[in-house]
Structure 1
Amino acid sequence: MPSAFQNLRRISLTAWIMIAMVIGVFIGWLWPEVGMALKPLSTIFLRMIKSIIVPIIFGTLVVGIAGHGDDMKRVGRLALKSIIYFEIVTTIALFIGLAAVNITKPGIGVQIQASPDEGEKLASNTPTGMGFLEHVVPTSFFDAAAKNEVLQIVFFSILFAVALSQVKGRPKEIVLAGCEGLAEVMFKFTAIVMRYAPIGIGAAIAVTVGHSGLGVLINLGKLILTLYGALVVLVLVVFVPVALMFKVPIREFLAAVREPALIAFSTTSSEAALPRAMQAMEGIGVPRRIVAFVMPTGYSFNLDGSTLYLA
């Protein structure tokens, strides 16, 4: 007869995360001060996750590009297809978001005061086209890594991989082996960090509810329902047809993205979910070269959820 400890070990990580989220809601609701005091636990989890991003992107992207021969045309085709897909889907998400807010009008009755300083700061930080291109190029790899500038890391990693693909013989093999080893270690590192995920995510939910209370969720309930309704429409209209078109096993895919989705939802950070999402996609058979290129660039260019929200 299995012991209670063995039964607990059989519970999946996804289930533990959901249990922790429910506990976090109750702690933040019933004991707001206790919920707020749990913030360091949430911060520790986010810091551990963010520490994974740079090495895992660099290692997987270099191996994905330079480790597959000298066929740079294949890399170019992958980049072109990815950017076209990002542009089309993001545009569709924008139209769905605009349609949703014009039909439901969720902002009516909700008054949020913004200071003039915040408006001026937002206007001054709006990037221009040339400013965006300038920002993509890092002044230093280590500076970009310290600031977790994903797009700059992707840019540097691609150039590094292209340069490495032009190197012949043992030097190339040594660097490739090092990058492949780095990627493998970081995936194991991700698995270790994810064991702490229920505690970090439960604490994040407790902090959010403890700070804002359940009342803010009720007052903004129409906005939340509109947003998630629009997300459901986007999934049904775009993602499901795309999955069927390319014969993606939908159930297997949904099972793979449950944990990354819960992490992103509870921490309000898609950045926190990126390492686990990359690991999950490799787990269902997506080639590493595709995962390494498409997911980090999609993180920067294919912000469908943010587009729906901002619309």
Structure 2
Amino acid sequence: MKKAKLSLAWQILIGLVLGIALGALLNHFSAEKAWWISNVLQPAGDIFIRLIKMIVIPIVISSLVVGIAGVGDAKKLGRIGLKTILYFEVVTTIAIVVGLLLANVFHPGTGIDMSTLGTVDISQYEKTTSEVQHDHAFIATILNLIPSNIFAAIARGDMLPIIFFSVFFGLGLSSLPGETREPLVKIFQGVSETMFKVTHMIMNYAPIGVFALIAVTVANFGFGSLLPLAKLVILVYVAILFFAIAVLGLVAKLFGFSVFKLFRIFKDELVLAYSTASSETVLPRVIEKMEAYGAPKAISSFVVPTGYSFNLDGSTLYQSIAAIFIAQLYGIDLSISQQVMLVLTLMVTSKGIAGVPGVSFVVLLATLGSVGIPLEGLAFIAGVDRIMDMARTALNVIGNALAVLVISRWEGMYDDAKGARYWNSLPHWRSKTAAAGKAVAE
């Protein structure tokens, strides 16, 4: 009888549990902890993150060029882009409002003794914050979309300029005569398919990367620092679950989809995104699976990378809760007008900076001052930010996957038959149970 192989989701989950166990153990041994983190765990985790960063840009460029060349209509592409940005703005604004409402109802920062809270140095984010505030002037934002040097943008990993160039390159390619266009399209098609194969190879290392990254996180903060901030952490997790099931569930139903099917399709990617707290780790696989599920290549390869910068549902939801939490911590009662200002400011500052390390902290630092909330309050929650970052990253993944389906349906380009075939091809629980029963009987 053939031995069953553990699925990637189970391998990652096992790595996650073992990493938590090792991290909790190392947290009690300060001398050994430093050695293990610097010489074993951090390098092992960094290898995985670097492998993912290595493949993201080639996949985005090749997939976009092939997809746009296939559309071949600048007017149609412009319509898709406008609908995508409109959808992103509406959904992220709803996320901000939901976060504010839940924070005002449950008061996570009320009644906490600030002397029981540990603080973390947040000066590392201050330089980035000033850059973000400068770069989010309207004219600067538009200019930052257009790369003066595409190779410099690729070297920096600036996703929006890369997308901008790829779209124009794809449109230019589509306008060429067939005999000139086809060989180049085939080259980009080959690059795209090759990079997806490379992605599958890298995923074999994912359990080790997850094990190392989560072990470093738990070893550094320990579980003791969670207790004073348990109310905040629990509220963020409840808010993210509510938004995923209720808000995104309603959006999915309105367009003829099921958010629970998306949970099933992306079970591996959700565990991976959650444990690494990085959307980049799953971006290639989200593009690939959305195409397999019936979305056109042109839409999936455009919406997913763009959503990586513009459609951060989990991050914006968390930012609004964290802002109110810090205000409550200091006993500041924000008026309705101040909260409206907070919503408007977050709508602008949360866009286009997904590549910045500690992005939610950077956005909050750039936002809190606008409504009179002390920036120092962020130092109290920095220690547990990673725990909340994991959950909000998972929500970002689901939000972007749903966005692909919504835009595809909105454009009348979704392939229902292809989607049904892909769903039926998945190893569902019932089929696994039946197969197991058959094996036992034999």
- With the length of structure 2 as denominator, give the TM-score of the two structures: 0.65
Q: Which residue of 1 aligns with 2:53?
A: 50
Cα distance in structure 2, aligned partners of 1:256 and 1:140: 38
Q: 1:198 to 1:120 in 2, by over 3 A?
A: closer
Q: Which moved more, 1:259-268 or 1:147-156?
A: 259-268
Q: Which residue of 1 aligns with 2:204?
A: 195
Q: Which residue of 2 aligns with 1:59?
A: 62
Cα distance in structure 1, aligned partners of 2:53 and 2:131: 27
Q: 1:35 to 1:107 in 2, by over 3 A?
A: farther
Cα distance in structure 2, aligned partners of 1:116 and 1:151: 27
1:238, CA displacement in angstroms?
A: 2.2
1:76 pairs with 78, 92, 108, which one? 78
Secondary structure at 1:171 match in 2:
helix
Structure 1 position 125 matched with structure 2 position 132: yes
1:161 pairs with 170, 175, 182, which one? 170
Counterpart residue identity of residue 186, structure 1: M
> Which consecutive residues of structure 2, in runs of 5 or more, have no partner in the other structure?
28-32, 321-442
Q: 1:180 to 1:97 in 2, by over 3 A?
A: same
Cα distance in structure 2, aligned partners of 1:202 and 1:276: 20
Q: 1:214 to 1:83 in 2, by over 3 A?
A: same
Q: 1:217 to 1:284 in 2, by over 3 A?
A: farther
Cα distance in structure 1, aligned partners of 2:256 and 2:91: 18
Q: 1:156 to 1:115 in 2, by over 3 A?
A: closer
1:273, CA displacement in angstroms?
A: 2.1
Q: 1:124 to 1:58 in 2, by over 3 A?
A: closer
Runs of 4+ in 1 over 6 A off after TM superposition: none
1:285-296 equivalence runs, <5 A: 285-296=294-305
Q: Which residue of 2 aligns with 1:18?
A: 13
Q: Which residue of 2 aligns with 1:224?
A: 233
Structure 1 position 272 matched with structure 2 position 272: no
1:197-212 equivalence runs, <5 A: 197-212=206-221
1:246, CA displacement in angstroms?
A: 1.9
Secondary structure at 1:167 match in 2:
coil
Q: Which moved more, 1:277-286 or 1:22-31?
A: 277-286
1:124, CA displacement in angstroms?
A: 5.0
Cα distance in structure 2, aligned partners of 1:261 and 1:150: 22
Find the structure with the greater CA-based Rg: 2
Q: Which residue of 2 aligns with 1:308?
A: 317
1:217, CA displacement in angstroms?
A: 3.0
Q: Which residue of 1 aligns with 2:386?
A: none
1:263, CA displacement in angstroms?
A: 2.1
1:222, CA displacement in angstroms?
A: 1.7
Q: Which residue of 2 aligns with 1:262?
A: 271
Q: Which residue of 1 aligns with 2:435?
A: none
CA contact 1:90–1:302 (8 Å) conserved in 2: yes
Aligned-residue RMSD, C-alpha: 2.0
Structure 1 position 100 matched with structure 2 position 102: yes
CA contact 1:21–1:202 (8 Å) conserved in 2: yes
Counterpart residue identity of residue 54, structure 1: I
CA contact 2:245–2:259 (8 Å) conserved in 1: no
Q: 1:26 to 1:83 in 2, by over 3 A?
A: same
Counterpart residue identity of residue 263, structure 2: L
1:41, CA displacement in angstroms?
A: 0.9
Cα distance in structure 2, aligned partners of 1:87 and 1:250: 20
Counterpart residue identity of residue 66, structure 2: V
CA contact 2:272–2:281 (8 Å) conserved in 1: yes
Q: Which residue of 2 aligns with 1:29?
A: 24
Percent same amino acid among aligned pairs? 39
1:38, CA displacement in angstroms?
A: 0.8
Give per-residue Cα distances to partners, 1:211-269, cap 9 Å, x unaligned. Answer: 11122233332222111211122223321122112222444321222222222221121
Cα distance in structure 2, aligned partners of 1:71 and 1:298: 22
CA contact 2:92–2:313 (8 Å) conserved in 1: yes
1:122, CA displacement in angstroms?
A: 2.3
Higher relative contact order (CA 8 A, sep 6+): 1
Cα distance in structure 1, aligned partners of 2:128 and 2:62: 36
1:64, CA displacement in angstroms?
A: 0.8
CA contact 1:35–1:209 (8 Å) conserved in 2: no
Q: Which residue of 1 aligns with 2:192?
A: 183
For this pair of structures, how many residues does the alignment match? 305
Q: 1:114 to 1:252 in 2, by over 3 A?
A: same
Q: Which moved more, 1:133-142 or 1:215-224?
A: 215-224
- With the length of structure 1 as denominator, give the TM-score of the two structures: 0.91
CA contact 2:249–2:258 (8 Å) conserved in 1: no
Q: 1:143 to 1:123 in 2, by over 3 A?
A: closer
Secondary structure at 1:125 match in 2:
helix
Counterpart residue identity of residue 175, structure 1: L
